[in-house]
């Protein structure tokens, strides 16, 4: 047993500042998610009322975690001065712009800017020379750096509440908490809640199977992950026809190809990390148990044993008691519905030239699919399509592998057959 009791390990300490106070209408940070009938709630988003937009944890230039609102665009490569030293932004793109300072595995360091005074002319670097370019008056403004203190400081804390599982939580000075993801206690690596044949498990980052040839036809016993995924015991390997856990062992020389044959195949990225790997069982992965209660049609799942409310409601799933199935928020047409496992209707083709289109839903396990979504509507799954199916990929018009099942679109299902959800503050 790694831990017999709840342990709190602070990974970053919040700086003392006055930026985390309440707004005129209540706390500045608010938990948001999905609310259904009977008050069932689920979700793990955070809303910054000052900027009227969701915000997520990130690092400022001093290394302090803060809840940064969503940026409207990246800071561009145009400038407000003839020396090309003062950045300029398009006024039409929104109130906040982001400039990445340093990319990190846990979090990236960034700066935020807003539109300042109008500039009549903008400049750009061409072959190392700062040159003026034509621009409509008022369309650009000088980029004004937003002080980091305008964004709420956060403390990142790891909560280990099971022998092999933990969760990251970000805390503001006023006690507000936001969920920051699950972690495998053995490696301190991020994992993701998924349903497997062995129950609810916390699956690790996905890895790409490595192939020895440029057609991705000669398989190897290696997998490739990003440079940030270097603390793994397991990986989830996603192929065209399967998603399976693998146990990683020793590092292997970088090289080879990866992709989803026959749809795609490419050389490995220079910063990819390659491991030798063998198939594993999902029972080797951390288990996450959930429960639900109540007599209403819509019942929210809660994470059992969760150390805080922010973690308890983080599964993002509900149970539709009338239909007897788990359901998740899906935006369909004019709003959110709680839908059971769904397939996406797309355009495929019945000929090798991809000139004869047909609307189908294709999946590895269409026996799990309860509804289909297409064109802002919900449909019954139709008959299994008996012909050969093709689709357009990076390698042209290719045949869909036989391991995938194509299903026709059945009759439309009225929206009222499902529970409607509202996105907003959690009670």
Q: What are the tens digits of pLDDT across the range 199-239?
A: 888 988 888 889 989 888 888 888 888 766 666 778 888 77
Residues 347 and 275 placed together within one structural domain of the fold: no
Structure letter (DSSP) for residue 182: E
What is the distance between the alpha carbons of residues 100 and 68, in angstroms, rounded to a whole number?
Answer: 13
Question: β-strand 273-279 against 219-225: which pairing, if any?
Answer: antiparallel
What is the distance between the alpha carbons of residues 2 and 274, in angstroms, rounded to a whole number?
Answer: 29
- In a domain? residue 422: no
Q: What pLDDT, on the 0 to 100 scale, is given for residue 66?
A: 96
- In a domain? residue 45: no
- Last residue within a domain, chosen from 266, 284, 302: 284
Note if the pTM is more than 0.75: yes
- In a domain? residue 139: no
Counting the structural domains of the chain, the total is 2
What is the distance between the alpha carbons of residues 47 and 130, in angstroms, rounded to a whole number?
Answer: 40
- Last residue within a domain, chosen from 267, 284, 301: 284
> 13: pLDDT confidence band, cut at 50, 70 and 90?
very low
Residue 424 pairs with which residues in a beta bridge? 33
φ and ψ of 119, to 5 deg = -125, 135
What is the distance between the alpha carbons of residues 321 and 411, in angstroms, rounded to a whole number?
Answer: 23
Q: What pLDDT, on the 0 to 100 scale, is given for residue 1?
A: 34
Q: What pLDDT, on the 0 to 100 scale, is given for residue 332?
A: 93
- In a domain? residue 223: yes
- In a domain? residue 180: no
Q: Which residues contact 68 (CB under 8 A, 6 or more apart)?
A: 55, 56, 57, 58, 98, 110, 112, 151
- In a domain? residue 58: no
> 26: pLDDT confidence band, cut at 50, 70 and 90?
low
Domain that includes residue 364, residue range: 341-414
What is the distance between the alpha carbons of residues 210 and 222, in angstroms, rounded to a whole number?
Answer: 5
Q: Which residues contact 417 (CB under 8 A, 6 or more apart)?
A: 378
Which percentage of the chain shows pLDDT scores above 90?
A: 40
Q: What angle do CA 94, 98, 103 make, to 5 degrees?
A: 155
Residues 207 and 276 placed together within one structural domain of the fold: yes
Question: Which among 415, 243, 419 has a CA at the least distance from the CA of 325?
Answer: 419
Q: What pLDDT, on the 0 to 100 scale, is given for residue 17?
A: 38
Q: What are the tens digits of pLDDT across the range 95-121?
A: 788 888 887 777 889 999 998 999 888
pLDDT at 196 over 70: yes
Residues shown for the chain: 427
Looking at per-residue confidence, does 43 or 314 come out higher?
314
Cα–Cα distances (Å) from 275 to 88, 97, 332, 401, in that order, read 44, 38, 40, 27
What is the distance between the alpha carbons of residues 147 and 111, in angstroms, rounded to a whole number?
Answer: 9
- Last residue within a domain, chosen from 284, 303, 325: 284
Token pair for residue 393? 């990929």
- In a domain? residue 377: yes
- In a domain? residue 30: no
């Amino acid at each position: 047993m790694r831990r017999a009791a709840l342990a709190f390990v602070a990974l970053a300490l919040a700086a003392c500042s006055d930026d985390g106070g309440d707004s005129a209408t209540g706390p500045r940070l608010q938990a948001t998610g999905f609310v259904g009938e009977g008050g069932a709630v689920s979700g793990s988003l955070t809303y910054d009322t000052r900027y009227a937009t969701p915000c997520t944890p990130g690092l400022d230039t001093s290394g302090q975690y803060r809840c940064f609102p969503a940026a409207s665009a990246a800071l561009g490569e145009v400038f407000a001065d003839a020396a090309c030293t003062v950045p300029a932004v398009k006024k039409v793109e929104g109130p906040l712009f982001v400039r990445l300072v340093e990319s990190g595995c846990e979090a990236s360091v960034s700066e935020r800017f807003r539109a300042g005074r109008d500039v009549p002319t903008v400049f750009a670097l061409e072959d190392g020379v700062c040159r003026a370019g034509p621009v409509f008056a008022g369309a650009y403004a000088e980029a004004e750096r937003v002080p980091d203190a305008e964004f709420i400081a956060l403390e990142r804390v790891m909560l280990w509440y099971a022998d092999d599982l933990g969760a990251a939580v970000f805390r503001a000075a006023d006690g507000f908490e936001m969920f920051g993801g699950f972690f495998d206690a053995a490696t301190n690596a991020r994992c993701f809640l998924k349903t497997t044949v062995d129950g609810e498990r916390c699956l690790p980052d996905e890895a790409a199977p490595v192939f020895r040839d440029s057609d991705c036809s000669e398989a190897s016993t290696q997998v490739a992950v990003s440079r940030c995924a270097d603390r793994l015991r397991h990986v989830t390997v996603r192929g065209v026809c399967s998603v399976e856990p693998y146990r990683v062992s020793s590092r292997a020389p970088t090289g080879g190809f990866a992709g989803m044959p026959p749809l795609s195949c490419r050389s490995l990225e220079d910063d990819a990390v390659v491991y030798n790997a063998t198939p594993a069982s999902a029972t080797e992965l951390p288990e996450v148990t959930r429960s639900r209660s109540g007599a209403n049609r819509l019942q929210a799942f809660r994470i059992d044993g969760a150390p805080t409310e922010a973690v308890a409601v983080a599964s993002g799933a509900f149970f539709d008691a009338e239909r007897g199935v788990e359901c998740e928020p899906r935006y369909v047409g004019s709003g959110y519905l709680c839908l059971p496992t769904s397939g996406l209707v797309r355009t495929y083709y019945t000929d090798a030239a991809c000139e004869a289109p047909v609307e189908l839903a294709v999946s590895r396990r269409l026996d799990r699919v309860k509804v289909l979504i297409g064109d802002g509507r919900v449909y019954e799954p139709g008959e299994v399509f008996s012909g050969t199916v093709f689709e357009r990929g990076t390698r042209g018009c290719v045949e869909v592998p036989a391991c995938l099942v194509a299903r026709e679109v059945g009759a439309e299902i009225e929206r009222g057959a499902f529970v409607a959800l509202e996105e907003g503050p959690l009670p």
